[in-house]
A = this chain, B = another copy of it.
Amino acid sequence: MSAPLRKRLFDALDAIVLIDPHTHINALAPASATLADLMGYHYYTELAHSAGMPKARIEEPGLPPKEKVGRIVEKLASLENTIQSSWLIEIAQTFFQFKDEAITKDNWESLYDRATVAMAQPDWTAKVLKRSNLEAVFLTNDFDDPLAGFDTSVYIPCLRTDDLVFHLAQPAVRERLEKATGNSIASTPSLRAAIGKLFQHFVAKGARACAISLPPDFTPTKVSESKATGALEAVWRSGPQVEAEHARDLGHFVFWTLAEFCAEFKLPFDLMIGVNRGVYAEGVYQGRDLYDSRVSLIQYRELFNAFPQVPFPISVLASVTNQELVSYSWIFPNVLTNGHWWYSNTPTYIEHDASARLEAVPSTKQIGYYSDMYKLEFGLPKFAMYKRILAKILAERFVVDRQWTEERAIALGHQVLRGNVERVFFPVPSRC
């Protein structure tokens, strides 16, 4: 029978201790203090807003956390169908003895209070990590993050570079870069040197990846030193009002330089491809970004050919790009599949996309999942969602369709859940 098989596979996968290879955890405050930290996750605020709650009601300045939760609860009934809502319920049931199937105006307050008590325990963060079978999580650090005050073997630094590639024309970003590196950046050599200092700092602190999110029209290319110099000078002269062409050339130069340093420092370069920022200008915080799914990995052809020594774990925003990701990973040794990102992080798309990867990409090149979470409590339900789908695929497509033994199927699951995170991000010496 299919159901017990799925259950057996899920249980085996669920027992694996994981390293989460991409999150937005704040290492200085990794877990939540109240339910407002959970329900303030943009998924709930943006869905509540989409379902009709005015932005002003959600983002009213000075709103106490409990009242904020009470307000969002008003809209939860419209969102119960969403998988995002199920994450919240699973957290409540797992961590806060919640027994109901939905959070309503009648039960939320007691849940809120129980959660507040639980979260106030001094070992709450450790408990969440342990209960979630999480050994470590990758961070998303600003390039000028001091990376101090936390255990970098549990909270693994990752150099996030969107600001450098896309916002260097903003004086504040330039100032942050100059301050972080102690360099005056007047030329492309000094810019390159400054970026090199960031890599030195991050790698010294145990960083295991460089990462960036990219818009659909981004097509990296190597620009000549002279063109980059002209672009840098124009950007320094004009700031955010600079001509688009110069901003683009400088961005290309920075991006290419990042790839060069990834090669030098042996860091994988996580590319998260396909997001348009600020499409819905009046959206709630972090709820404004959408995309144009007309993007192709052919745009990265020059990059993939130029840096054979750099592993590129790639996330695509839209499921329609997943087949290209499968094919490019099947051909290019340096292209890897990485998780199920954002708008593709829902079961129907995960199942379709993960199935295609599991049957056509070498097993050693697939990083199955990352949580993308802002608060540690979300690791458990998000990974559980993925593991349930992975168990379904392994059951149906490997054990039933291809007559694999369960042991083999579980070994494949282990490899994409845990083995490849080590293989890709902790290559030498082996972490375990």
Is A364 within 8 A of B51, CB to CB? yes
Is B329 within 8 A of A50, CB to CB? yes
A39 within 8 A of B: no
In this complex, the interface size class of chain A, counting residues with CB under 8 Å from chain B, is: 35 or more
CA distance A251 to B285 in the complex (A): 35
Among B47, B304, B324, B360, point to the contact of A330 (Cβ < 8 A): B47
CA distance A414 to B405 in the complex (A): 32
Given A101-B408, A348-B359, A401-B388, A305:B323 Cβ within 8 A: no
CA distance A279 to B287 in the complex (A): 36
Give every chain B residue within 8 A of A361 (Cβ-Cβ): 50, 82
A346 within 8 A of B: yes
Among B86, B289, B293, B323, point to the contact of A296 (Cβ < 8 A): B293
Is A49 within 8 A of B333, CB to CB? yes
Tell me how many chains of this kind the complex includes.
3
Scan residues 324-378 of chain A and give those whose CB is less than 8 A from a CB of chain B.
Answer: 324, 326-333, 343-344, 346-349, 352, 355-356, 358-365
CA distance A51 to B81 in the complex (A): 40
Q: Which residue of B lies closest to A403 (CB)?
A: B101
Given A82-B360, A333-B52, A360-B84, A276:B290 Cβ within 8 A: no
Give every chain B residue within 8 A of A82 (Cβ-Cβ): 359-362
Q: Which residue of B lies closest to A388 (CB)?
A: B401
Interface residues of A (CB under 8 A from B): 3, 46-47, 49-52, 78-84, 86, 101, 276, 279-283, 287-294, 296-298, 301, 304-305, 308, 318-321, 323-324, 326-333, 343-344, 346-349, 352, 355-356, 358-365, 388, 397-398, 400-402, 404-405, 408, 412
